[in-house]
Amino acid sequence: MKAAVIGTGSMGRNHARLYADIEGVELVAVADVSQDAKGVADKYGCRFYTGHKEMIETEKPDIVSVCVPTSLHYEVSKFVIEKGVNLLIEKPIASRVEEAEELVELAKKAKVKLAVGHIERFNPAVQRLKKLIDEGKLGNVTSILARRVGLYPPRIRDANVIIDIAVHDIDVFNYLLGKEPSKVFSCAGKALINDREDYADIFLK
């Protein structure tokens, strides 16, 4: 299987490293607008492109990881789907619900596989918890609480705390309970960053 990565910043480098490591997968190329990322291609002995369109058209990969900043997920992923290439989009799938829904629909129509990098589902602690819940060892779960407190990652400049961070917890809840919320109550605000929410209290029924 031929794999490629679009955006080889902090997260994309991990995708490149793992594709290069997985048996039966060949990391054929990476694309990043920054020439600095050429080092990633050199490290894994694959080709480097500054444009993802040229990369996909030339390399014709079987699967592509989309690891560009969140605000570009929709545009880049749409192109990948239109080219009929399977894709793993880093979380969150897109900046807006409408964009996310459109991507899912487009992928279905194009019959390409679309996955989202909700990495916490593969966290051994979360997997163990899921097993305990499924086996009924924790009884009937009536409430789950997640609380995250931390510095806002300086390299994230285009996503608020809900779509950048809370999506992890919401996805874990959905995964653990095997269902999605029926009601959402939320209050968010801007404490330290002016242009987007950096705190939120979210209650999911």
Ligand X SMILES: NC(=O)c1ccc[n+]([C@@H]2O[C@H](COP(=O)([O-])OP(=O)(O)OC[C@H]3O[C@@H](n4cnc5c(N)ncnc54)[C@H](O)[C@@H]3O)[C@@H](O)[C@H]2O)c1
Strand 2-6 versus strand 114-117 pairing type: unpaired
Of the ranges 6-14, 17-25, 129-137, 191-199, which one interacts with ligand X (CB under 6 A)? Answer: 6-14
* All residues at 6 or more sequence positions from 157 whose CB lies less than 8 Å from its CB, including other chains: 69
Cβ–Cβ under 8 Å, residues 194 and 166:
no
Among 3, 5, 7, 81, binds ligand X (CB under 6 A): 7
Q: Does 94 bind ligand X (CB under 6 A)?
A: no
Among 37, 87, 112, 176, binds ligand X (CB under 6 A): 37
Interaxial angle between packed helices 73-82 and 97-110, expressed in degrees from 0 to 180 and rounded to the nearest 10: 10
Of the ranges 69-77, 94-102, 121-129, 141-149, which one interacts with ligand X (CB under 6 A)? Answer: 69-77
In whole angstroms, what is the distance from residue 70 CA to residue 93 CA? 8
> By beta-carbon distance, which residue lies closest to ligand X?
9
Q: Does 181 bind ligand X (CB under 6 A)?
A: no
Cβ–Cβ under 8 Å, residues 18 and 8:
no
Q: Does 91 bind ligand X (CB under 6 A)?
A: yes
Q: Shortest approach of ligand X to residue 182 CB, angstroms?
A: 26
Closer Cβ to ligand X, 157 or 185, answer by number? 157
Q: Shortest approach of ligand X to residue 28 CB, angstroms?
A: 16
Q: Please state whether 84 falls in left (phi above 0), alpha (psi between -120 and 50) or beta.
A: left
Cβ–Cβ under 8 Å, residues 121 and 114:
no
Q: Shortest approach of ligand X to residue 34 CB, angstroms?
A: 4
Closer Cβ to ligand X, 10 or 186, answer by number? 10
For 31, phi then psi, to 5°, come to -130, 135
Interface with ligand X (CB under 6 A): 6-12, 31-34, 37, 52, 67-70, 72, 90-91, 117, 119, 155, 164
